[in-house]
A and B are shown apart, each in its own frame.
Chain A
Amino acid sequence: MLHTVNKSPHDSSSLRTCLSLAKQGSDLLLIEDGVYGALSGSIHSDTIAEALNNVTIYALGPDLKARGISEDRLISGIKVTGYDGFVELATVNDKVQSWL
């Protein structure tokens, strides 16, 4: 399953809830303000880094760029993708769960 999270972990518990329920092998795509969850050095970074053992985490490149977040500031192991990659993730996963 593909999970999408569009809220910053500083604003909303949706990223933590998603990570607590996502099954092993799921994909998670951080979009919109959700990309703040990809930042290293924040109060949430350790939780998210640990989740990388269970799920593959992506961040949407255009949303990172719109917020001035360069890729070298991301938690190691988080992948960056574009809208074409978003479509591909929605295709290879059998379901898409939007955490709004």
Chain B
Amino acid sequence: MKFSVMVNEGPYTHQAADTAYHFIDAALKAGHEVFRVFFYHDGVNNGTRMTTPPQDDRNIVNRWSALAAEHDLDLVLCVAAAQRRGILDADEAKRNGKDADNIAPGFRISGLGQLIEAGIQSDRVLVFGD
């Protein structure tokens, strides 16, 4: 079965980023496909590589990047939500005249159309948030 997941909450807020991760991990282990993970609203904060949690805490961002590398996941940050919160890739940084980018490996920035497409292409869409 083909799943897509929407994450609307930032990391280290309540629990949505963790629940989404564990659900996706379990789905992949069960042999299902994950078509796309779409990060919207504060969820885009899951995609900054500047995150530096204490060493004895889980690194939510690195965990996403590692899962994406292992399973070729498509992790998409909403562009408008990302710009508002200062999450930029190299192209967006250049386009907006910023001096740096901060997107984490495995993530890409795109638009809401990607969420609509995920809904069309997937058998199920699950939403995690606050």
Where the two chains meet, the residues of A that have a C-beta atom closer than 8 Å to any C-beta of B are: 4, 6, 31-33, 62-63, 82-84, 86-88, 90-91, 95-96, 98, 100
Given contact pairs A32-B15, A87-B26, A95 touches B127 in the complex (Cβ within 8 A): no
* Closest-CB distance, A27 to chain B (whole angstroms): 13
Interface residues in B7-27 by Cβ distance below 8 A to A read 8, 14-16, 19, 22-23, 25-27
Which applies to chain B's interface (DSSP): helix, strand, loop or mixed? mixed
CA distance A91 to B27 in the complex (A): 10
User: Are B19 and A32 closer than 8 Å at their CB atoms?
Assistant: yes
Instruction: Say which size band chain B's interface belongs to.
Output: 20 to 34
User: Are A90 and B14 closer than 8 Å at their CB atoms?
Assistant: no
Q: Is B50 an interface residue (CB 8 A)?
A: no
Given contact pairs A90-B124, A90-B126, A96-B124, A83 touches B16 in the complex (Cβ within 8 A): no
User: Are A87 and B27 closer than 8 Å at their CB atoms?
Assistant: yes
Given contact pairs A84-B30, A96-B125, A6 touches B16 in the complex (Cβ within 8 A): yes
A84 and chain B: residue at smallest CB distance:
B26
Interface residues in B24-41 by Cβ distance below 8 A to A read 25-27, 29-30, 32
CA distance A82 to B30 in the complex (A): 13
User: Are B26 and A98 closer than 8 Å at their CB atoms?
Assistant: no
Q: Is B86 an interface residue (CB 8 A)?
A: no
CA distance A12 to B1 in the complex (A): 32
24 contacts between A and B (CB under 8 A): A6-B15, A6-B19, A6-B130, A32-B14, A32-B16, A33-B15, A62-B22, A63-B15, A82-B26, A83-B22, A83-B25, A83-B26, A84-B29, A84-B30, A87-B23, A87-B30, A87-B32, A90-B27, A90-B124, A91-B32, A98-B127, A98-B129, A100-B8, A100-B129
